[in-house]
Structure 1
Amino acid sequence: MTGLSDEWGGTGWDSQARLVRERWVDRRPRRPEVAARLLMETRLMPWLAPRLPLPVPIPHVLRQEPLVVRHEVVVGEPLDTFDAVGGRTLGAFLRALHAVDPAEAVRHDAPPPREALRERAATVKDFGTRVVPLLPGDRRDAASAVLDGVGALPTCALVHGDLGPEHVLARDGTVSGVIDFGDAHVGDPALDLAWALHGAPPAFARAVAAEYGAAMELTERALLWHRLGPWYEVTYGLDTGDPNAVRGGLEGVLARLPA
């Protein structure tokens, strides 16, 4: 019910995971810079978990060198059934997450708005430098407009930061938990709604929006974040020398750009 083996594995870009005695998940960073995110989770999640309506990981440091953090298994498999009941459950979860006090979250080690804005600006600049030139000439203005729009979005709530169906778990057809908070920060709540409103099947998306109470302006911001998603695949492919990732990412970028 976890999708993990007893060996170090997992498909995450940032960390490796191992299931221990069917009860614990041990995670270690794939790259040195990821260690800070894992440590952030050990300080943020014990405070955050009681404020949420679904189970989430509550990691602690198991070993410092090399770094390994451990949390109890959150039972379930990645979500693959997208009905209205699941949409309402996720909408309620996100509403609760985004309602926590962001200042208190920062006191529990969540990256603050200034850090999120600095990282966002660096990402937008990188995308403009490395991805836009790879696009057809007649699509570059639309691509640059997406980057400009994302750069101007707010930072006003604690967000998961990487919410997709692989991080929403279900058991027996019911949403059972949310995992992988390594990208949590105080940012734009629309980021967490990008896939749920614009990438998920319509019945699921409508239920998320209704339960969350997503206004039109928030929905439009979520669309900007949704359009940005494939850009990360392009730069990942460039960084790792994976031409298939670059090609697939560029196809996604073009498919999501406004006409």
Structure 2
Amino acid sequence: MEFAGGWDSVAVLVGRWVERRPRRPDVEAQLRREVRLMPWLAPRLPLAVPVPELVSDDPLVVRHPLVPGEPTAGADPAHGRALGGFLRALHATPTAGAADLGVARADHDGALDRFGAEVVPLLPASRRGAALALLDAARGLPADTVVHGDIGPEHVLADGTGLTGVIDFGDTHLGDPAIDLAWALHGAARPFADAVAESFGVTGEQRERALVWHRLGPWHEVTHAFDTGASPAGGVEGVLDRLSP
């Protein structure tokens, strides 16, 4: 059975294993980094995470035991408290050790430059000022914490007992911890968001930065569509929906 929706990897369930192959050559380095990083990172975290191992070097194939659960609805406060604790543990990871295993600072400025050049021209003229202000607000944010980089309901798993795990560490980098709070604080239900904030100990400044990252989420959908030959229309609609008035 193939899992649907992965941007970077083709993932197939084989028995109790998830086998992953890169969708594009540039993803190979990302998968190899996960093979190095996750055995070191997993014991530091309070929830299950994928710990891939190398199956084949050419073609590249990695596999890990299936992390049980289904995507969270982002509504249960108990799930929110568990996610807040998970993120606190992840963000306490020693940066030097992670860097030794290949975790690097993301090129956010490069991404913002691309957004300005390729996404802003697609927006109505009346919304471009707000779009450019958002890009300016995203520059110069902290980049000194080990972050997941793509925390959303599809990557936070739960069952009837509570949260069971967090998956997809392909975007892990040294960055702003508020990026991991973006969906949890500004896209999930209020009881869930409040529980995350209490468990994590969110500050007012982190909440504001998380809103910047939340508003930037659909911009990545637009550039991903360009990279894969898909239509950017859905991403553009998302950009407009999240822009401040």
TM bucket, shorter chain: over 0.9
Q: Are 1:136 and 2:115 matched, yes or no?
A: no
Match of 2:89 in 1: 96
Bigger shift: residues 138-147 or 177-186:
138-147
Match of 1:11 in 2: 5
TM score, norm. by length of structure 1? 0.91
* Structure 2: unaligned runs, 5 residues or longer: none
Match of 2:239 in 1: 253
Match of 1:63 in 2: 56
- In the alignment, the residues of structure 1 paired with residue 228 and residue 161 of structure 2 have an alpha-carbon distance, to the nearest angstrom, of 36
Q: Does the C-alpha gap of structure 1 residues 122 and 20 become closer, same or farther in structure 2, counting only changes over 3 Å? A: same
Tell me if the contact between 2:74 and 2:153 (Cα under 8 Å) persists in the aligned partners.
no
Match of 1:214 in 2: 202
Tell me if the contact between 2:46 and 2:89 (Cα under 8 Å) persists in the aligned partners.
yes
* Structure 1: unaligned runs, 5 residues or longer: none
Q: Are 1:53 and 2:46 matched, yes or no?
A: yes
- In the alignment, the residues of structure 2 paired with residue 179 and residue 240 of structure 1 have an alpha-carbon distance, to the nearest angstrom, of 23
Tell me if the contact between 2:80 and 2:196 (Cα under 8 Å) persists in the aligned partners.
yes
Tell me, what secondary structure is at the counterpart of 1:151?
Answer: coil
Equivalent position to 1:165, from 134, 150, 153:
153
Paired residue type of 2:86: F
Match of 1:42 in 2: 35
- In the alignment, the residues of structure 1 paired with residue 241 and residue 86 of structure 2 have an alpha-carbon distance, to the nearest angstrom, of 29
TM score, norm. by length of structure 2? 0.97
Aligned length: 245
How far apart are residue 236 of structure 1 and its match?
2.1
Tell me if the contact between 1:10 and 1:18 (Cα under 8 Å) persists in the aligned partners.
no
The RMSD of aligned alpha carbons is 1.2
Bigger shift: residues 72-81 or 195-204:
72-81
How far apart are residue 19 of structure 1 and its match?
1.0
Equivalent position to 1:234, from 214, 222, 228:
222
Q: Are 1:154 and 2:142 matched, yes or no?
A: yes
